[in-house]
């Protein structure tokens, strides 16, 4: 199988998952698509190597995080943003997804990234620390603070720090 | 699924349809591969891995124009452009455009994802500009120009066979002119490279295969899109000799 076919099949299988992770990282579907497109394009370039090494998912995850951080630091968030409040008509008030979105948006970028990697991507503290270039202590601390903030904002008792 | 994950998943309830297009992503990937190849074409000791993992063209956005500074390394190890990069890129673009080295009969076509034709963009340790060239007969080729910071890897093309090299002077700069056949379908790269006393490198390259063709057909699958190169080694030398091309 050639590069295009293998890559295309991977993309078809994983695009939705990647998009959701990117969305949790950035909070906007259009930006999430941008981030995934960047990650996939980078992946295409190194496809033979990472596929041979069996590290495709890890590489993609790293690219998603880097792209999200880069975009954010380039003033991404200062550009036009999706309206956080629902319009007056046709959308029910305070749907659960909007609550989670708002709560995630309230987290500092570092905490948000750690929470997404740790609890959505199911990475261990060690894996998150390695991916972000931080210490395990920092990751634990940011995860705990992030969860505490989410717990407060969402008013849910289910957010307990996983050991 | 754990409780936290279940709550996070509620964020997707209003998810729009996925609009990522497989063919479009693959074409972007091929363009990126092409740029990597151009940046290191014939080069001797370019750090391939560094280029592979850091080149960003798809979705590249113009950085903010502020004061001079050094590249910013993010917590994840990625780099964002130095604050001065937009101004430098603009200056380099102007120098190249005003030189009028590209003959009037040749039309410049911008590459997707890469800004305007021959518009310099910052990329880890270097500024790059590219365009497809089209003459009046519809023949197509490519021009790629790079101004690399002193800390960038050596981009001087090798002179080992089948490449051939000559050394000439342009604008007071000693320039290596290289002809390099690539693959078996007749693609030939013409390259000019010089290194300034401060370590900055200027590199110009033209190919007889357009980027459009290269990205449509994939790696090594494109035959020449012009019977003769649309720019000469001499013109590439003139580009590398432009006094304004410096950092």
All structural domains of chain B with their residue ranges: 21-240
Residues A37, B59: C-beta atoms closer than 8 Å:
yes
Residues B20, A37: C-beta atoms closer than 8 Å:
yes
Report residue A161's pLDDT band, with 50, 70 and 90 as the boundaries: low
Query: B80 touching A, CB under 8 A?
Result: yes
Mean pLDDT of A63-87: 64
d(Cα B185, Cα B181) in Å, to the nearest integer? 9
Q: Which CB contacts under 8 angstroms, 24+ apart, belong to A107-110? A: A107/A146, A107/A149, A107/A150, A109/A69, A109/A72, A110/A142, A110/B75
The pTM (predicted TM-score) of the whole model is 0.64
B-facing residues of A in 120-139 (CB < 8 A) are 120, 122, 131-134
Bridge partners (DSSP) of residue B147 are B127, B202
Q: What's residue B185's pLDDT?
A: 84
Mean pLDDT of B193-222: 84
Q: Which among B8, B11, B75 is the nearest to A119, CB-wise?
A: B8
d(Cα A21, Cα A64) in Å, to the nearest integer? 8
The larger pLDDT score, comparing residue B97 to residue B57, is at: B97
How distant is the Cα of B30 from the closest Cα of chain A, in angstroms?
A: 7
d(Cα B152, Cα B39) in Å, to the nearest integer? 11
d(Cα B33, Cα A46) in Å, to the nearest integer? 9
Q: What's residue B1's pLDDT?
A: 56
Mean pLDDT of chain B: 80
Query: B161 touching A, CB under 8 A?
Result: no
Whether the pLDDT of residue B217 is over 90: the answer is no
Q: What's residue B131's pLDDT?
A: 92
Q: Which among A116, A119, A133 is the nearest to B77, CB-wise?
A: A133
Whether the pLDDT of residue B180 is over 70: the answer is yes
Report residue A158's pLDDT band, with 50, 70 and 90 as the boundaries: low
Whether the pLDDT of residue B28 is over 90: the answer is no
Mean pLDDT of B191-204: 95
Report residue B174's pLDDT band, with 50, 70 and 90 as the boundaries: very high
Query: B74 touching A, CB under 8 A?
Result: yes
Whether the pLDDT of residue A54 is over 90: the answer is no
Whether the pLDDT of residue B218 is over 80: the answer is no
Whether the pLDDT of residue A114 is over 50: the answer is yes
The larger pLDDT score, comparing residue B37 to residue A24, is at: A24
How distant is the Cα of B72 from the closest Cα of chain A, in angstroms?
A: 10
Report residue A155's pLDDT band, with 50, 70 and 90 as the boundaries: confident
Q: Cβ contacts of residue B23 below 8 Å, gap of 6+?
A: none
Bridge partners (DSSP) of residue B128 are B121, B146
Q: What's residue B36's pLDDT?
A: 76
Report residue A160's pLDDT band, with 50, 70 and 90 as the boundaries: low
Query: What proportion of chain B, given as a percentage, has pLDDT over 90?
Result: 44
d(Cα B79, Cα A77) in Å, to the nearest integer? 18
Q: What's residue B183's pLDDT?
A: 78
State whether the Cα torsion A121-A127-A133-A134 is positive or negative: positive
Whether the pLDDT of residue A112 is over 80: the answer is yes
Please state, in angstroms and as integers, the Cα–Cα distance from residue A83 to each residue in A28, A80, A107, following that order.
10, 9, 17
Mean pLDDT of chain A: 81
Q: What's residue A116's pLDDT?
A: 94
Whether the pLDDT of residue B141 is over 80: the answer is yes
Whether the pLDDT of residue A92 is over 60: the answer is no
């Amino acid at each position: 199988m050639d590069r295009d076919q293998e890559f295309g099949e991977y993309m078809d299988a994983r695009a939705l998952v990647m998009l959701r992770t990117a969305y949790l990282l950035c909070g906007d579907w259009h930006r999430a698509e941008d981030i995934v497109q960047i990650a996939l394009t980078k992946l295409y370039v190194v496809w033979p190597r990472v596929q041979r090494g069996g590290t495709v998912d890890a590489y993609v995850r790293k690219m998603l995080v880097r792209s999200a951080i880069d975009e954010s630091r380039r003033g991404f968030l200062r550009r036009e943003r999706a309206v956080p409040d629902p319009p007056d008509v046709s959308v029910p008030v305070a749907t659960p997804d909007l609550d989670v979105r708002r709560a995630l948006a309230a987290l500092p970028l570092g905490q948000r990234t750690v929470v997404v990697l740790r609890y959505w991507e199911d990475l261990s503290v060690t894996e998150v620390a390695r991916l972000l270039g931080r210490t395990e202590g920092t990751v634990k601390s940011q995860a705990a603070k992030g969860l505490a903030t989410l717990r407060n904002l969402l008013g849910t008792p289910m957010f307990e720090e996983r050991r | 699924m754990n409780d936290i994950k279940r709550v996070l998943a509620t964020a997707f309830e209003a998810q729009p349809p996925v609009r990522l297009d497989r063919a479009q992503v693959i074409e972007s990937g091929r363009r990126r591969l092409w740029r990597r190849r151009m940046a290191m074409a014939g080069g001797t000791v370019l750090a391939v891995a560094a280029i592979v993992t850091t080149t960003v063209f798809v979705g590249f956005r113009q950085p903010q124009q502020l004061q001079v500074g050094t590249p910013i390394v993010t917590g994840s190890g990625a780099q964002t452009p130095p604050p001065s990069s937009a101004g430098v890129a603009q200056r380099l673009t102007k120098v190249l455009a005003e030189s009028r080295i590209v003959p009037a009969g040749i039309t410049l076509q911008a590459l997707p994802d890469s800004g305007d034709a021959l518009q310099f963009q910052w990329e880890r340790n270097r500024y790059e500009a590219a365009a497809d060239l089209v003459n009046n007969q519809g023949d197509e080729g490519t021009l790629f120009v790079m101004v690399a910071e002193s800390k960038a890897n050596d981009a001087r093309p090798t002179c080992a066979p089948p490449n051939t090299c000559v050394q000439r002077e342009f604008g007071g700069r000693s320039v290596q002119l290289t002809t390099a056949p690539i693959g078996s379908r007749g693609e030939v790269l013409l390259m000019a490279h010089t290194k300034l006393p401060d370590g900055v490198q200027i590199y110009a390259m033209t190919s007889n295969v357009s980027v459009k063709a290269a990205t449509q057909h994939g790696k090594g699958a494109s035959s020449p899109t012009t019977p003769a190169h649309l720019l000469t080694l001499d013109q590439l030398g003139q580009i590398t000799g432009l006094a304004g091309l410096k950092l």
